Chains A and B, each alone.
Chain A
Amino acid sequence: MLKSLRSLFQPKVTGIYPEKHKLTATAAIAEAPLSSHYILPLKQHIGEICTPLVRVGDRVLKGQKIAKSQGYLSAAIHAPTSGIITKIGEHAITHPSGLSMESIFIEADGNDQWDTTLATLQDWKQLEPSILRERVRLSGIAGLGGAVFPTFIKLLQDKNHPIESVILNGAECEPYLTNDHRLMVEHSEEIVLGLQMILHMVKANTAIIAIEDNKPDAIACFQRIITAQELHHIEVKSLPSSYPQGSEKQLIEFLTKKQVPAGKLPLHIGLICQNVGTTKAIHDAILWGKPLIERVVTVSGDAMPNPGNMRVRLGTPIDQLLAWHGLENMDGCHLIHGGPMMGERLGHAHAPVVKATNAVLAFLPQTMMAAHKEESPCIRCGDCSQVCPASLTPNLLADLCRQDQFEKVADYHLFDCIECGCCSYVCPSHIPLVHYFRYGKGQLATIKREKAFADESRQRSSAKEARIQREKEAKEAAAAKRKQARAATAPVTPPTQPTEGQS
């Protein structure tokens, strides 16, 4: 009641205040035991798929690069432990479709022996930013907040857009998730060091560490370090614990009152955002020569017997991870990969932990059913517009998607939707608005792809027609020539064979 009265005087309150359920906020990060085997999908980031560098039967060392980036927008993959490559083939991944992906299978040998070819860069302060950036690229680091965008691209310097400030994103606004929180509490020094490395790489002067006010211990840790080391250019800022506070664009707007223009990146307004987990990974890669082979995962949910935070090697089968937390029989519960607001339902529990896995949640069926009720008609209450952090009008947009009116959808800016789920969360009619938007986006992408294919086919077909026409004309011309030649009783020249192939 008080909250809504307050909202009377603030005309635009975006986002929601969900119950946070941070069951594992005080659970220290546990080290995962060695699994018997690991499965590494060849694409764990946004961008192009990697190509394997190893063959079945090869022996690999822990940290050895086993798949290299094929294109620019890509992140390499490293072996999480030493062992033998047993298979390279399709395996289930954490994708809502349940489709599988080419993956590398490693049988652990138990020695966990490090590959020491990657040097440590203790003197990073003296090194050129480009060298550090190359290290970040080689280490296969991608945004660990969940977006898994290859990190080195974010660290590039653009002459036209100097970076003024780096924002360290420690908001962790999703309910249940505590992996970033624990990382901040237990590894604050490394994170601050990593932040300084980022500042060095992008040549920025100031930094903001942004943390939600429901993690006072993390805020205190950073404040202590900053005062002790006299890092006056780094500022710790406490944020209200609303959702989606940790979404990059919303975080920037809150901290700087500036909006990232549509279709642009934060760097265009002189900012970059990095997740705390990514920053720790950058630190490890530069200072310790450790590529990205593990990450912290929150294992939680109301059906989880022993919730906790665990440092898990990438490639660990999720059913193995759940078994370590006491969940052996998964029939009676629903598994979510990621947070409850943006995570996806897991089709196969034997899919592996990937770079994007910030949490694995197990929910009781009744919890899941309470969230996914049968949809009723929209009563146009406007709650969705009220909470939408992108200021869209979700109910109108969902109507357009439902009716396949894709021409109008662009006018309503469907692609500005960040799929945060606030609209579905507040909807009294239980309309799966995000699902409609995903449907709309998927259909638009399909239409675009089919259109491009049709245009290409049209070109190919008209090219073929033109070629046939040309050949026919050439033949006729040659025949005419021959006739002429015969008429003149000149020696006959063999007709030239028209060249086969595309013209």
Chain B
Amino acid sequence: MQNLFTAMLSFSLFALISGILLAIATRFFKVEGDPIVEKIDALLPQTQCGQCGFPGCKPYATAVAEERAEVNHCIPGGERTMLAIADLMGVEPKEIEEGPTAPMVAFIREDECIGCTLCIKSCPVDAIVGAPKQYHTIIAKDCTGCTLCLEPCPVDCIDMLIKPELLEHWAWPLPGSNRAELGHERKEQHHA
């Protein structure tokens, strides 16, 4: 019986000392501020497209940080962004409902443009140039493909085009298990 008490006493003491140490540690190594919003924001693609249901990337990042939003709402970011956020937040990854989309870029059919500047106002990244009563045009290299300019256009002269694949942006895909198909490919060539 005495053994039991000794054990209980020593463990309680140990727990108490550890607790005090922890308390001291939190006081001395306290992290100032909460950089998690910035960290999430840095992971987001900054299209400011609002497809997540929030009015931009930063608001979504804040929502995720405050656990008001799931990690899987960023459509343009795709799986990689979702995994990175899930990893950062320490939550289970969730599947993105909409499938991966090809990167898009907006294009104005200039001969139909009436120069109303509404699209310019709606562009979150200032990628549309033009003045009232002048043709507007989209700076393709700065366009994030957010589609926010489509709705305001009164004459529907903006198209979303698939971004052309650039030679210098081409990257090797993951090696597939299709190497065994080498023989089949040859047969197909023969038939063709």
Task: Tell me the A residues contacting B by CB distance below 8 Å.
Answer: 95-97, 99, 101, 331-332, 365, 368-369, 372-375, 402, 404, 432, 435-436, 438-439, 441-443, 445-447, 449-450, 453-458, 460-461, 463-464, 500, 502
Contact = CB atoms under 8 A, between A and B. Distances in A.
Given A375-B179, A432-B179, A454-B45, A460 B171 contact: no
B144 A457 contact: yes
Interface residues of B, number: 34
Contacts of B56: 461
B131 interface: yes
A454 B183 contact: no
B167 A443 contact: no
Contacts of B169: 446, 449
Given A97-B167, A432-B175, A372 B182 contact: yes
Interface string B4-47: 00000000000000000000000000000000000001001111
A461 B125 contact: yes
B2 interface: no
A43 to B, nearest CB: 8
A449 B80 CA distance: 14
A147 B182 CA distance: 28
Contacts of B69: none
A501 B124 CA distance: 13
A375 B182 contact: no
Contacts of B41: 458
18 contacts: A95-B167, A101-B167, A331-B186, A365-B183, A369-B183, A372-B179, A375-B177, A375-B179, A439-B172, A442-B170, A442-B172, A447-B80, A453-B45, A456-B142, A460-B127, A461-B48, A461-B124, A463-B126
B133 interface: no
A365 B131 CA distance: 61
B174 interface: yes
CB-based closest 9 A-B pairs: A442-B171, A457-B46, A438-B172, A454-B46, A460-B125, A435-B175, A458-B46, A97-B170, A374-B180
Given A365-B186, A435-B172, A442-B171, A464 B179 contact: no
Contacts of A436: 174-175
Interface of B: 41, 44-48, 56-57, 80, 123-127, 131, 142, 144, 165, 167, 169-175, 177, 179-180, 182-183, 186, 189-190
A502 B170 contact: no
Contacts of A99: 165, 167, 170
Contact of B142 (A365, A438, A455, A460): A460
Contacts of A457: 45-48, 125, 142, 144
Contacts of B45: 450, 453-454, 457
Nearest to B141: A453
B147 to A, nearest CB: 14
A464 B172 contact: no
Contacts of B123: 464
Contacts of B172: 96, 435, 438-439, 441-442
B93 to A, nearest CB: 13
Nearest to A445: B171
Contact of B46 (A331, A368, A402, A461): A461
Contacts of B171: 439, 441-443, 445-446
B57 A458 contact: yes
Contacts of A456: 142
A464 B122 CA distance: 10
A438 B174 CA distance: 9
Contacts of B167: 95, 97, 99, 101
Contacts of A443: 171
A454 B46 CA distance: 5
Given A96-B172, A369-B183, A457-B144, 6 more contacts: A101-B167, A369-B182, A372-B182, A436-B174, A439-B173, A446-B169
Contacts of B57: 458, 461
A454 B44 contact: yes
A26 B142 CA distance: 56
Contacts of A455: 46
Contacts of A439: 171-175
A97 to B, nearest CB: 5
B182 A331 contact: no
Nearest to B44: A454
B26 to A, nearest CB: 28
Nearest to A333: B186
Contacts of B189: 331
Contacts of A368: 182
B134 to A, nearest CB: 12
B1 to A, nearest CB: 55
A500 B190 CA distance: 62
A453 B105 CA distance: 14
Q: Which residue, B126, B169, B171, has most C-beta atoms of chain A within 10 A?
A: B171
